[in-house]
Structure 1
Amino acid sequence: MDQKIEELFQEYDRKMNELCNDSPAYDTDDLFNTYRAYRKVILAKRAGLSDEALEKDIRAFAAMTDALHVRKDAPERIYLWPEGKMPAEPESRIPPMFRMADDFRPYMYEVLVSPEVTPKGAVLCVAGGFQGRTVVNEGYGIALEFRKLGYQCFVIHNRVNALDFNTKCSLNGKENGADIARAIRYIRANADQYRIPADRVAAAGFSNGGATIENCVQYYSGTRTVKEYFPGYEPDELDAYYGAPDVYINVYGQRFPEVPFDWTGVVYPPVFEAAGRDDDTGATSNLYTLLPDLLAHNVPVEVHTFAGTPHGRTAYNLIWEKEDHPNFDLFVPLADAFMQDAYQKNERRD
């Protein structure tokens, strides 16, 4: 490919990746169409199309990216930490590829049901990878799916879970887990505004987002506090609320068997596990080793694997006219039933 055209693609690849973190702020059709144009370029490059054809597709993708504008009725960012108050690991612990911008502050968006709908609860959606483009389907797309079923949804842009690729262990689990806990606390604190019971807040994570939620469970369930891990942190009114989710939905983000998990003091919520059987990241095989550990600790768990489905196919039915793996999003109504069952069991115990 001509170098200038490749540089043009790389420029707009980066631009769109950044825009996608704010997916709920854009017109849904415009966002999905731009994502389709991006994928068309990727598939064309893999297929070895001519430079002329590639240039045409890349320029179309660039034009659509330039045309994306925040809509007038867009929800606002909800910043999770007061400026200067965010607890953080030493930067030296985090490889450069995982570091956020120096001025980054985690935030989330609301994706709410209409006023005439009685909400069933809330779902915090945590996209995988480095976020960016994954927010389109694993954040915003899945939020739209759960909203259809009656949930107040939230799409978070948190500090990315940094992995040691040799050990598969998180290098900053306490800080990205704190972002998830902070978002959950905010939702609980505003439960009346969102018209939900404060004890019906689920978190749904995808790939690296699923691992991020488990960091929240490991470090901030039970009686664990942010200050326990970050002595210089100054608690505020949100810290009075419980920070771990009431239900954990883990989609192709299952813990690797070599990663240690400290169960001391952990109150692990009911967990819904889903993965595609053609997932090449290890999610399905990880699930088979994770399940005995969860059951040994009396964690209520439901497991679903989907034949023929590779990694990352959440909410693809919203984006593609013809989706090759339409069965995968069956996990959404199944997770809905799981959440409602868990909440009803909690009510009976109370």
Structure 2
Amino acid sequence: MQYFEQTIAGIDGTAASFRGYIIDNSEEVLPDRRRPAVLVIPGGGYEMTSDREAEPIALKMLAFGFHAFILRYSVAPSRYPVALLEAAEAMRLIRVHADEWHVDPHAIVVAGFSAGGHLAASLGTVGGDDVLAEHGYDPAAVRPDGMLLSYPVISSGQCAHRGSFDALLGDDKDDPAMLERLSLEKQVADVTPPTFIWHTVPDDCVPVRNTLLFVDALMEHGVPVEVHLFPSGGHGLSLGTTETAWQGVNGIEECVQVWPELFRRWMLRTFDSCVR
């Protein structure tokens, strides 16, 4: 396996960390194999990026036979669209280096958690397309081929996780036009990619209504979606195991521990290049 880390310059002078975990091909198996890739975007309310939703997720994806990348994007005091442009650049890099990294360029999934789910879904929807184009990106070229959204921040409306939008927008946090742009259930379009999404019903931080609004919008546009709602557990569970529990104790939730395997099966059904 190859590992690398590089920086992505933010437009405000900050820098994001972009890490890659590339599975080597073998002459004994399939020397020309191209694998799906998963770009992991951890959450943290646009104020930090969580360790618990970064490398443990990447390692799980590697175990499934997917290349994995992690984006630790710029957070407050950086404001929109700094993180969006960093995510776009990460997607561009994966596709530009697809041959070198043995990536199937048509099977790149962005995996976002909480506020990272908002950033991931911002790439998959169209609200930021004009901003991407303004900064030299072809929105279609950096749009993922699929999305894995875990307890995502979606809506800026009544069920909003207000802290995420306050951190993302700063002085513009009450700007109706910006809030409309960033309420992603309103930005779903026919080009939005197939989506796997999960949430816990009792989540008292980011209400499950965020996921339900997004699922409704996906269905209205005919976008394939698989959704799993779990009956117990709070917010930010990551894998729901001791590996990702807060201080090794809080956040162990047996019922959600199945989601990675459900996601792997979704990948098998969605992308031909998955290892079977």
Match of 2:220 among 293, 296, 300: 296
Q: What does residue 149 of structure 2 align with?
A: 250
Change (3 A) 1:151 1:131: farther
Local SS of the residue matching 1:305: strand
Distance 2:114 2:120 in 1: 10
The answer on 1:200 being equivalent to 2:107 is yes
Deviation readout 1:29-82 (Å, 9 max, x if unpaired): xxxxxxxxxxxxxxxxxxxxxxxxxxxxxxxxxxxxxxxxxxxx994422234x
Shift of 1:228: 3.3
Q: 1:77: which partner in 2?
A: 5
- The corresponding residue for 2:271 is 343
CA deviations on 1:99-120 (whole Å, 9 max, x unpaired) are xxxx521221112335448563
Report the Cα distance in structure 2 between the residues aligned to 1:275 and 1:264, rounded to whole angstroms.
Answer: 19
Task: Name the amino acid aligned to 2:227.
Answer: V
Letter in 1 for 2:267: M
Q: Confirm or deny: 8 A CA contact 1:207 1:252 kept in the other structure.
A: yes
CA distance in 1: counterparts of 2:132 and 2:113, whole angstroms = 27
CA distance in 2, matches of 1:182, 1:251: 22
What letter is aligned with 2:87? Answer: I
Distance 1:226 1:190 in 2: 24
Per-residue deviation at 1:257? 6.4
SS for the counterpart of 2:43 is coil
In 1: Cα distance, 2:239 partner to 2:125 partner: 28
Report the identity percentage.
22
1:229 equivalent in structure 2: 134
Bigger Cα Rg: 1
Q: 1:288 Cα shift?
A: 2.3
Residue by residue over 1:158-183, the C-alpha shift from the partner in whole angstroms, topping out at 9 and shown as x without a partner, is: 123889xxxxxxx61x3322211111
Provide the residue aligned with 1:151 in structure 2.
66
Structure with bigger RCO (C-alpha 8 Å, 6+ apart): 2
Whichever residue aligns with residue 88 of structure 2, its letter is A
Q: Distance in 1 between matches of 2:212 and 2:201?
A: 11
Asked whether the 8 Å contact 1:209–1:253 carries over to 2, the reply is: yes
**Match 1:331 to one of 252, 259, 271:** 259
- 2:88 aligned counterpart, secondary structure: helix
Kindly state the Cα deviation for residue 245 of structure 1 after the two structures are TM-superposed: 0.7
**Residues 282 and 273 (structure 1), Cα distance of their counterparts in 2 relative to 1, 3 Å cut:** same
Contact in 1 for aligned 2:18/2:70 (Cα 8 Å): yes
Contact 1:119-1:195 within 8 A present in 2 as well: yes
> Secondary structure in 1 aligned to 2:83?
helix
Given candidates 126, 132, 139, the residue that maps to 2:54 is 139
Residues 162/113 of structure 1: CA separation in 2 closer, same or farther (3 Å cut): same
Q: Could you report, residue by residue, the CA deviation over 1:233-281 in whole angstroms, capped at 9, with x for unpaired residues?
A: xx4xx86981011001110014126263454876201111101122112
Deviations 1:131-161 (A, max 9, x none): 7875322111111111100010011111238
Q: What stretches of structure 2 of length at least 5 have no aligned partner?
A: 158-178
- CA distance, structure 1, for counterparts of residue 140 and residue 223 of structure 2: 22
Could you say what secondary structure the match of 1:107 adopts? Answer: strand
Residues 199-220 of structure 1: per-residue CA shift (max 9 Å, x gap): 1110000000000112222348
2:110 counterpart SS class: strand
Aligned residue pairs: how many? 239
Give the structure-1-normalised TM-score: 0.59
What amino acid sits opposite 1:291 in the alignment?
Answer: V
C-alpha distance in 1, partners of 2:233/2:82?
Answer: 32
Q: Does 1:181 align with 2:88?
A: yes
1:272 pairs with 2:200:
no
8 Å contact from structure 2 (residues 126, 189) kept in 1 = no
Q: Which residue of 1 aligns with 2:23?
A: 113
